[in-house]
Structures are given as structure tokens and as C-alpha cells.
Structure 1
Amino acid sequence: MRSESEVPFSDNPFSIPIADRVKRLPPYLFGKINKLKYEKRVAGVDVIDLGMGNPTDPPDPLIIEKMTEALSDPKNHRYSVSNGIANLRKEVATRYFKKYGVRLDPDSEIVTCIGSKEGFSHLCLALMGPGDTAIVPAPYFPIHVYAVALAAGNVISLDCREPDKFLSNIAYTCQHLYPKPKLVIVNFPHNPSTTCVEQDFYDELVKLAKRYEFLVISDFAYADICFDGYKAPSFLSSKGASDVGVEFTTMSKGYSMAGWRVGFCAGNQEMVRALATIKGYYDYGLFQPTQIAAIVAMRHCEAAVESVADEYQVRRDVLCDGLERIGWELERPKGTMFVWAKIPEPWAKMGSIDFAMKLLDEGGVAVSPGRGFGEDGEGYLRLAIVENVQRLRQAVRQIDRCLNKSAVTAES
């Protein structure tokens, strides 16, 4: 009998058994575009990136100053509490009352997240399991689908671009699906389509939730980025909303603190407690100096938030004016940091991924193809208004030059 040391070594590759939850994830449709964008930048090409909603503006100097001060305190470098320090949760409650008239208990109805995306994903893990179904708005922001899939849940996507029809389809699905959906996810102002709603939408959603006994998660990421006098309503402002759901907010957009990863979950006590339980196992909370700076931001920088929204409105107008001038069809958004534009003829037959690749390869402008947000996004592009007005005007010129050159070449 041979010893283990005498067993011949095999050159066959070792098999890595990836978990089924990872195998369930679909291919990453932005991969080709990101690869080409990277290659062009390495080659020295100045790509104008309107693909990702990544703010390019810095936070208010007061926020940075407070962060710097907090970094000097040795106590702030220890583990923090996973649900967020008390004073930060109190500020969230104060802001909700001032802005939306919603009263929240900072101890039981608010938890701080490492960005709202982390909180949303972990809440899906706390709520969903095999056999559970979630309704998500379509075209969909990818994490709304992937977080449910990673939690072993099933997804039904319903077009949300006509809000009344979206509500009707939610009711129809609840009436005809067994078991009924456990969760409905909403996201208004909507990423990517920029669709907005009024308070009566949430009033009706709460009624449906109670009638059909489903939970609600409102992704309110673009609460602070609204235009032309429009004020995005909070789900929690509707009567009975806290009985059936929660809302996620973030400081990434309005406060230009995307990389700081500061988000919040507020609303139903049981859902907040479930999220806090998951977070208690997974993390030690947000870096405390970041939380302290976030307190100062909410106390003293509301004017800066309004200024950020005003700047995005100027950029929206510059980009929309330019695209309309060269013949594109679109609706001016009332919220978000995006423009949702229909691919112009005769290019629509290319498909949104190939068209986006063309704009990047031949025009030096990166955009997000609508197909990356599901089948309902096909035929559209999402353009982020994160660059300054000069860069946005240049982007339109480069797009126009790219398409006109192609048209001339095709005709010849």
C-alpha cells in the first residue's frame, strides 16, 4: 500500500465549486463597454464618461473640515456600532420631519448603512428566501434584481414608466400568483428611466400592500435631485407606510458624498430590526469620522444640497438642448442625475449595446445601454449628467460628428 506522498500528482485543473447563488447571476452587460473604456484611456484617449452616475463634484468644504477634525481623535478609529451612532440617527429623524413631515424613532426605526446599496442588499437577505418572490420596477437598476437573486428569491419585473399601470399590474400579479409576492420594490425618481410620481402613488401602494400582504422597499436614492420645482415625495409620508415597509436614502447624490458610503434605512421597526441583525453579523458599522461629518452635513449644508440640484438642472438643460438639436427624442427628467434617451433612427436597429459601443469607440463618449437595465430598456440609452457643461457640450459635438460621419460613409 502506497503512502499519500507516493500518490502521483495530477496536472488536471482543480475544480472550484462556486455557490449556486453566484451562478444565478446573469452576465454583466456593461463589461464590454468598461473594457473598451479602460483600453482607450490607457491609450491616452480623453473619454467623456456619461455612463456611471458617479458625482464629480466635491462635498461642501465644511463636511471635509469636520472629517479632518474627527480623524484627529484616536477614539474615532475604534470599531463603531453597526446600526450607526445615535446622533446621526437623530439627524436623519430630524431631516425626515422637516422635509417630509414624517416622525421616526431614531432608536427603533432608523439604521445607518454603508451606502444604501449595502443596506438594500442585506435587507433582501433578511427578508427573502427560496420560493419568495419580489416585484421590481422595469427597466431595472441591476441591484434591485441581483440582491433578490443572491437572497435566493425570484423576481418579476413590471414596467414602471406609467405609474398607474404599474400599480394595476402589481395588483393583477398579486391576484394571480400563488404564493403571492412577498416584496415590492419601488424607486422614484426612477433609475434609469427618470420616471417620477406624486404622493397619491404611494397612498395607493400602501393600500395594495395591506390588501395583498406584501412588504415594500422604497429606494429613494434621488430624493434630493429634483428639477423645475418638483419635490419628490417620500413613501413614508403616506398614511400607514411604516406598517408595511421601509425607505432607503443616501448622501451620495445631494451631498456629493458618493465615495463616503453613507446611507440609511427608515420605517417599519421589524424590517429595520431585521436589517440591523444581519448587519450585526456582517460588519462593525460605518467609519465613525464619516458619521460625524455626515451629522454636520445634515445640520449645516442643506443650502449646498439645493445648489447641487440647481447645478444638475443646468447640466440637464445643456445636454437635452444639445441632443434635441441633433435630432434625438427624449423627455426632460424632473429628477435623478440622468437623461433617458431613445436611440435615434436609423441607429435603433443596432441595439443599445452595439450603439453604445459605437459612441465610445468612434465618438469617445461612454454611455449606458438600455439593455443593461433589462429587456424593457432596449432601444434607449442612459446618459449621466455628471460632467460639467463644457464637457457635456463637447460630448454632444462628438456624438453628432460620430453619427454624421457614419451616415456619410454609409451613403457613399
Structure 2
Amino acid sequence: MSKESAGTKSWRSERLSQLGSSIFAEVAAWKREAAAKGLDIIDLGIGSPDQPPSEAVRKALSEAALREDTYAYPATKSGMPFKEAAAAWMKYRFGVEADPDEEIVTLLGSQDGLAHLAMAICDTGDTALLPNPGYPIYAGSLALAGVEAVLMPLREENGFLPDLEAITEENWRKAKFILLNYPNNPLSAVADLAFFERLLQKARQYGVLVVHDLAYSEMGFDGCEPPSILQVAGAKELAVEFHSMSKSFNMAGCRLGFLVGNKEAVGALRELKANIDYGAFDPVQEAAVVALNEAISNPDYVKAGVLYERRRNTFVEVLRSEGWQVASPKATMFVWAKLPDMAWDMGMPWSSRTISQEMLKRTGVVVVPGEAFGSEGEGYVRIALVESEERLREAAVRIGCFIRGELMVE
């Protein structure tokens, strides 16, 4: 190929621009710029757990990694121990029975499954109902699959739940699936079984698969025990649910999760993934079995939510005392904060993007603009509770100085 002809072509597909918000790349650039200026960065942007898994989990992983028999392709083995442990945990945690062979598929993290599910269950031109705001891979997965998104606004006046009656009959009829996420990222909202019952009733009426992302199941606060949609009688007839080892068990870097529920949809994803990868590294699966069994059988087991509830209490209390009256989240590792009243004039309208950028530039505190999660996210920022209580207290004080106009850097 000549240079002339090569110069007329692009080796970057158009769909890449649909995979996620450019805001995340912008925030990373802001962070690098602030660090280069010598600011002490407190990164409350990405929701990555800052704690390790338990000692027993780490020991299981290290011992398995040292064995000579663990380096074959995982697909050459059944993978059943992890799926059996996942099924046992679903029974223990939610009272949900699941066939580990037909109703569970192992994933390289729940995002792996979220990214590929639409390819497995939809055809090009199909439609799906997605939340707005929503985790970016939800829309990105539809772009990869050539599926059209119909967005459901999640608003504060509705408790950040979709108004199921506001979805038109035409959109219900066209939809192949509806995807929701409670406890919610980024909103930190929760849903109860009564909502799931209404949702399933609607879905059954129109033959729509319900996809529920339950990555934050173990991060409820103030006595909240987030439910599984599969607890609703008959739910497995038309629902699947994603679970993750990342947030609840501090195994984010291990990349492991599972999809459970309707066997046809689970089977479709399993079939697709059989053509994409060879499964999760066996030592990681063995470590995850230990983690799930600890949650079931160890009387001293403490859920991840206990740590994040303490952090929430500290951060919200200090931030309110500094003048930003944020809502206290009921779950997850995030604070979804409505933009504060700013005591100083920047010379242009404040938005989630401008506040996030200026806050980082002037205080070193990283937050994510709400618009990164969709148009309904404008007017908010997401703050991740992924630092110690001491650092969160310091971040809240710096933010207070920022909103009062006591600029920390010029």
C-alpha cells in the first residue's frame, strides 16, 4: 500500500467514540497537570477498593499460583468449584437457588459480562432500555452490538428509580432487555423488592429480559441489606443478575464475577465467551471460592460495607460542616453530590465539569463530573470513598475552602 493511499484511511473505528464518556480521559489529564504542579492529590475519582482481600484469600491465591498444575487454559477444567461456591453464596445471601451448571456463567469481572451480553442476546437493530445516568459500559456495550439505546431518566424526585409507567408502550414492545443497577453507581440509590416486583410485572407483560447489575450488594448502610431481583418469585423466567468479586470482596484486580439467572440468557453469554476467552485464571477462581466460603461460614466475617459506612459518616459530616449539604448515601462506595452554592464567581456558569476541574486545580481533590454518566448527571459530581477517614476528612476541608473561595493555589 502506498503512503498516499494509506493516508486516506483511518484505522480507528467510529464505534470507539461511543464506548464511553471522554470526561474520564479529561479528568485523568487534569490530575496529571495538578500533580505536575506539585499538588498533593487525593483521588476520589475511580471506585477502586483501597483494601486487600482477607489473608485467607491472599494465601489461597499465592499457594495456587505456586502449583505446577494451574497454568493450563482454565477452559480445560470444568470451572465448577467457583460456580458451585457462587451458587452456595446466592442461597446463603439471598435465599436464591441457582443451578451452577446451567444458570451461572463465570466472567472476567462483571464488566466483561456487561460489555458482551448485548452481543449474545440481541441482533443488530434491536433496542434496549438503559438508565440515565448510568455506568458508561451500559451504553458502550450497545454501541459494540449495534443495539439502539432508549434512555430512562433517573431523577432525585423519584428516588432515582425509573418511572416505569413513563416508558411508552412502543418502547416496551421494542425492547429486548432493560438494564438497571441497585445499589446504583453513580447515584448510590437503592431499590426494594416491591420495586423489583413492579419491574418484573411490566417486563413479563412485554416479554422483556431484565438485567440487574448487583455489584454493590454487600455495601448497604444503616442496616440496609440490598436484595437480589432473583428473590422475587418466578424472576428467573425473565431476569439475570451480575455479581462481582471486586467491590464486595476487595478483589478488583483479580477480574472475576458471574452472571446468574435465566438459563437461556446465561447460556447465550457462555456460548459467546467460549469464542472470546479461555476463562479466569484458576488460582483466582480458587481464591474467590475461599472468599465466598468465608462470607458464608466465618462468624467473624465483616462485610465491606462496614468500612464504607464509617467513611461515609466521616466524610459527609465534615463536608456538611464545611458548607456543602450533600445527601448521605444509603449504599455503595460513592457520594452523589448535588453541586454546591459557590461563594465566588468564576466568570462563567458553573457545571459539573467546571466545578470538578477547578476543584482539582485548586485543591488537589479528584471527583468525577456527573455528566460523565449521562445528561441526567449534570448538576452533580460523584465522589468515591476510596481513601482513609483521615484523608477523606482532609479532602472535605479542602473542598470547603474551595466552595467558599479560599483558593488553595493560584
Q: Give the TM-score of the pair, scaled to structure 2.
A: 0.92
Distance 1:405 1:165 in 2: 32
Match for residue 312 of structure 1 among 304, 308, 330: 308
Distance 1:74 1:310 in 2: 38
Whether 1:281 and 2:275 are equivalent positions in the alignment is: yes
Q: Could you tell me which residue of structure 1 aligns to residue 103 of structure 2? A: 109
C-alpha deviations, 1:150-172, integer Å up to 9, x for none? Answer: 11111122123469788774344
Structure with bigger gyration radius:
1
Structure 1 segment 260-409 matched on structure 2, within 5 A: 260-301=254-295, 306-346=302-342, 349-405=349-405
Secondary structure of the residue that 1:177 maps to in structure 2?
helix
Distance 2:44 2:342 in 1: 22
Distance 1:83 1:119 in 2: 20
Q: Could you tell me which residue of structure 2 aligns to residue 134 of structure 1? A: 128
Q: Could you tell me which residue of structure 2 aligns to residue 91 of structure 1? A: 85
Runs of 5+ consecutive residues of structure 2 not aligned to the other structure:
none
Q: Could you tell me which residue of structure 2 aligns to residue 37 of structure 1? A: 31
Distance 1:307 1:205 in 2: 28
C-alpha deviations, 1:345-377, integer Å up to 9, x for none? Answer: 137941000100011000110001111111111
Q: Could you tell me which residue of structure 2 aligns to residue 170 of structure 1? A: 164
Secondary structure of the residue that 1:136 maps to in structure 2?
strand
CA contact (8 A) 1:192 1:338 kept: yes
Distance 1:143 1:41 in 2: 28
CA contact (8 A) 2:186 2:373 kept: yes
C-alpha deviations, 1:315-343, integer Å up to 9, x for none? Answer: 00011101111221322111110011111
Q: Could you tell me which residue of structure 2 aligns to residue 50 of structure 1? A: 44
Amino acid at match of 1:320: V
Distance 2:139 2:371 in 1: 14
Distance 1:226 1:397 in 2: 26
Q: Give the direction of change, closer, same or farther, for the CA distance of 1:182–1:368 in structure 2 (3 Å limit).
A: same
C-alpha deviations, 1:1-20, integer Å up to 9, x for none? Answer: xxx9xxx8649735225434
CA contact (8 A) 2:159 2:189 kept: no
CA contact (8 A) 1:230 1:334 kept: yes
Whether 1:151 and 2:149 are equivalent positions in the alignment is: no
Q: Could you tell me which residue of structure 1 aligns to residue 183 of structure 2? A: 189
Shift of 1:245: 1.6
C-alpha deviations, 1:186-229, integer Å up to 9, x for none? Answer: 10001111111111111111111110111111000100111100
Whether 1:258 and 2:258 are equivalent positions in the alignment is: no
Secondary structure of the residue that 1:52 maps to in structure 2?
coil
Amino acid at match of 1:45: L
Secondary structure of the residue that 1:33 maps to in structure 2?
helix
C-alpha deviations, 1:221-245, integer Å up to 9, x for none? Answer: 1001111000101011111111112
Q: Give the direction of change, closer, same or farther, for the CA distance of 1:23–1:256 in structure 2 (3 Å limit).
A: closer
Distance 2:403 2:17 in 1: 38
Secondary structure of the residue that 1:292 maps to in structure 2?
helix
Larger mean Cα displacement after TM superposition, 149-158 or 53-62: 149-158
Q: Give the direction of change, closer, same or farther, for the CA distance of 1:84–1:29 in structure 2 (3 Å limit).
A: farther
Distance 2:3 2:224 in 1: 69
Whether 1:214 and 2:204 are equivalent positions in the alignment is: no
C-alpha deviations, 1:238-259, integer Å up to 9, x for none? Answer: 1111111200000111111111
Shift of 1:56: 0.6
Aligned residues: 404
Larger mean Cα displacement after TM superposition, 394-403 or 333-342: 394-403
C-alpha deviations, 1:112-154, integer Å up to 9, x for none? Answer: 1000000111111112232211111221111111111211111
Distance 1:308 1:246 in 2: 24
Shift of 1:88: 0.8
Shift of 1:264: 0.5
Larger mean Cα displacement after TM superposition, 302-311 or 323-332: 302-311
Percent identity over the alignment is 34
Shift of 1:180: 1.7
Q: Could you tell me which residue of structure 2 aligns to residue 237 of structure 1? A: 231
Amino acid at match of 1:405: G
C-alpha deviations, 1:294-314, integer Å up to 9, x for none? Answer: 111111245676342111100
Amino acid at match of 1:399: I
CA contact (8 A) 2:362 2:407 kept: no
Whether 1:71 and 2:65 are equivalent positions in the alignment is: yes
Larger mean Cα displacement after TM superposition, 233-242 or 43-52: 43-52
Amino acid at match of 2:91: F
Q: Give the TM-score of the pair, scaled to structure 1.
A: 0.91
